[in-house]
Structure 1
Amino acid sequence: MRYSIVYSSNTGNTRQLAEAIEQQLPTGDLLYCGAPDAAALQADVLFVGFWTDKGSCDAKVAELLKQTGGKTVYLFGTAGFGQSQQYFDQILARVRENLPAGAVYGGGYMCQGRMPQAVRSRYEAMQAKEPENARYKMLIENFDEALAHPDTNDLEAAVAWAKGSLA
């Protein structure tokens, strides 16, 4: 069964997942690996990676997903917030809305990913205006936690998920 790995990565987090998956899946069956491109659609199975943009995938991935009728699609992604599987499941559900009739959703994997420093600066500016607001402290703590992700455990879990998907 031929497969493609397609991904969009804003800060490198999703690219790390895609590369780890690519290195561990059978290379003889790999048709395409890279940014969203129509060439990937020649495969029967697609692993589609995305970075979380406003609670869903970015526009490039959304457009590719709309063209996946007749394919089996596995989704993987990263999000700056990562302390809740429920949150990840909500994101995956929103991304799945881009799949057309006839596409088969095979499952998904998500993990936390680091965010650009500009995000922390924005949080700090908000906290400076409202120092008593506990939410801003939580956002900064989450940002700091996310700096270590995706970590080795995240990458190993992504590979195990992808291998299990093809099995």
Structure 2
Amino acid sequence: MKTIVLYSSRTGNTKRVAEAIAAALPQGTPCLDLTKPLPENLASYDCVFLGFWVDKGTADEASRKVLQQLHNKNVALFATLGADPKSDHARKSLEKAAGLVPEGVNVPSCFICQGKVDPKLIEAMYKMFPASSLHGRNPESEARHKAASTHPDAKDLQDAAAFAHEVLLGLEMEG
């Protein structure tokens, strides 16, 4: 099965996850920044693993554009976000991104893990939102950003590799 990993990364989180995924796939699987020119033979891949950072509850803009243009048989999604990866926000972010994939394209599975938030973005949110807001400067926000700053960690990267392995195994079993 011919695979490729594409990713968009703002702080390096999604790139690290993408590299862990690529390392778990067959040797020689390309791992490319999707904000750079994509290979002309992109349609020839049986499965595209596409990673993004969550922005406003969905994939970042560059990833959204690529997702909408993929007509490969399978697109497995992975993402990083500053919030709890088990939260409704995380689940809904993956669902929104999966909804961008063209009709007829199979999304066999998704993976999401926490990642540090760009400090410039944190400061911008603190200026934009009042302290009473989820994104304002308050003890809860600061604790969430502190927790996120340690991710992706070794377990997240192991889980990402396991995700890639499981997707590939599942697709190979389907035939």
Asked if Structure 1 and Structure 2 have the same fold, meaning a TM-score greater than 0.5 normalized by the shorter chain, the answer is: yes
Contact kept, 8 Å, 1:46 with 1:72, in 2: the verdict is yes
**Cα pair 2:83 2:144 within 8 Å, conserved:** yes
In the alignment, which residue of structure 1 is the partner of 2:162? 160
SS in 2 for 1:64: helix
Question: Equivalent residue for 1:35?
Answer: 33
Measured after TM superposition, the shift of residue 89 of structure 1 is 1.3
Which residue in 1 is equivalent to 2:115? 113
Q: For 1:71 and 1:60, how far apart are their aligned partners in 2?
A: 21
* Aligned AA (1:15): K
1:13-92 correspondence to structure 2 within 5 Å: 13-28=13-28, 30=29, 32-36=30-34, 37-39=38-40, 40-82=42-84, 84-92=86-94
Cα displacement (A) at 1:118: 2.4
Q: 2:98 aligns with which of 93, 96, 99?
A: 96
Match of 1:9 in 2: 9
Would you say the 8 A contact 1:44–1:71 is kept in 2? yes
* Deviation digits for residues 34-58 of structure 1 (CA, Å, limit 9, x no counterpart): 0222543320101000011111111
Report the Cα distance in structure 2 between the residues aligned to 1:83 and 1:68, rounded to whole angstroms: 25
Deviation at 1:24, TM superposition (A): 2.2
- 2:16 and 2:157 map into 1 onto residues whose CA distance is 8
| Equivalenced residues, count | 162
Structure 2 CA distance for partners of 1:57 and 1:134, relative to 1, 3 Å? closer
**So what's the TM-score if we normalise by structure 2?**
0.83
Structure 2 segments unaligned to the other structure (5+ residues): 170-175
Task: Quote how far apart the aligned CAs of 1:124 are.
Answer: 5.5
CA RMSD, 1 decimal: 2.1
Distance in 2 separating the partners of 1:25 and 1:62: 24
Question: Which structure is higher in helix share?
Answer: 1
TM-score, normalised with respect to structure 1: 0.87
